[in-house]
Amino acid sequence: MFVTLSGRTGRATSTADVPRKDGTGYFQISDTALAVKVTEDATDWYQLKFVGDALVKAASFLTKGCLISVTGDLTFESWHNEDGELRAKPVVTISEIQLPPKSQAI
């Protein structure tokens, strides 16, 4: 499902080299967390994934608290925690990002 979200980053982005499935090398992927205020007292958190040279480069400019708008594909990643409970988190693979002008970044 495609979504558009606006909020503030929860931390600076981290970048990792991920091996290609076909074994022909690596590609970079960056990620960060995005806080979206739902109500005055509630915040939803989304993990943002940046794939592709242009998006990874744009993500390198993000710092904690940066106001951004993103569009991308929403999925849910699930896993079992150490107690065996099923957990899930929303993940948005970014296709477009809008950064505010530098004078309005924070």
Element (H, E) at 59: helix 53-59
Confidence (pLDDT) at 62: 86
Range of the domain at 90: 2-16+27-104
What are the distances in angstroms from CA 75 to CA 1, 25, 62, 87? Answer: 7, 26, 22, 14
62-92 pLDDT, tens per residue?
A: 889 999 999 999 999 999 999 999 999 999 9
Tokens linked to 62: 């993000």
Q: Kindly state whether residue 80 falls inside one of the protein's structural domains.
A: yes
27-70 pLDDT, tens per residue?
A: 778 888 999 998 889 999 999 999 888 888 888 888 899 999 99
Instruction: Give the single-character DSSP code of 61.
Output: T
CATH code for position 42: 2.40.50.140
How far from each other are the two terminal CA atoms of the chain, in whole angstroms? 29
